[in-house]
Amino acid sequence: MVEKSSLHRSHRPGGLPLLVAHYALRLLQLICSLATIIIWGGDIQSLRNNHITVHSDYVFSVIIASLTLVACIVFMIPHVISWRFFFVDAVLGGVGWLIVFAIWAKNYFPRNCTFGDCDQLKMSAWFSLLAWLGWLITAVVGFILFNRDRKYTHAGSWMATIRGGRSSSGYPHSNA
């Protein structure tokens, strides 16, 4: 009987439960990014239509939301091993969304809303907090899986793990 080699198979750490959690978190991140783009993008457009100068906080929020939306879509592609790029989760999501939340929480949480737009802006600040938590979780889990894979492949270097766990001989899981 011929037995298949397991050397060239991609493995999913954590199995099905981690895969379901991965897609659930990415969907949450996608929804938060879209909500932020819709809310702040609409405000930017209305300010531009009224010939009012757009504040940089709005632009920064939409840029971070757009970049994380693109990253989230790429990381949801089935053959992309997103935990190898945990640093993207940490920088874009962990740092970027934290800054966005800090900006809008400082501006809108102390206010007592008497009009509808303020409630919508407070909701956007809560979306940014939820997005930050989602990106922080994926960054931490990605870091753990990255280090576990690095030890598993005996690659030694971080760059070899990012490239796919190839050792100096070119074969994965080889000690040569």
pLDDT in tens, 112-149: 665 556 777 778 888 889 999 998 998 888 888 777 77
Domain ranges of the chain: 28-148
The whole-model pTM stands at 0.72
* Confidence band for 81, pLDDT divided at 50, 70 and 90: confident
- DSSP letter at 78 equals T
15/20: higher pLDDT:
20
Task: Report the candidate in 74, 109, 93, 103 with the shortest Cα–Cα distance to residue 32.
Answer: 93
pLDDT band at residue 2, thresholds of 50, 70 and 90? Answer: low
Average pLDDT of the chain to the nearest whole number: 77
Closest CA to 59 of 77, 41, 84: 41
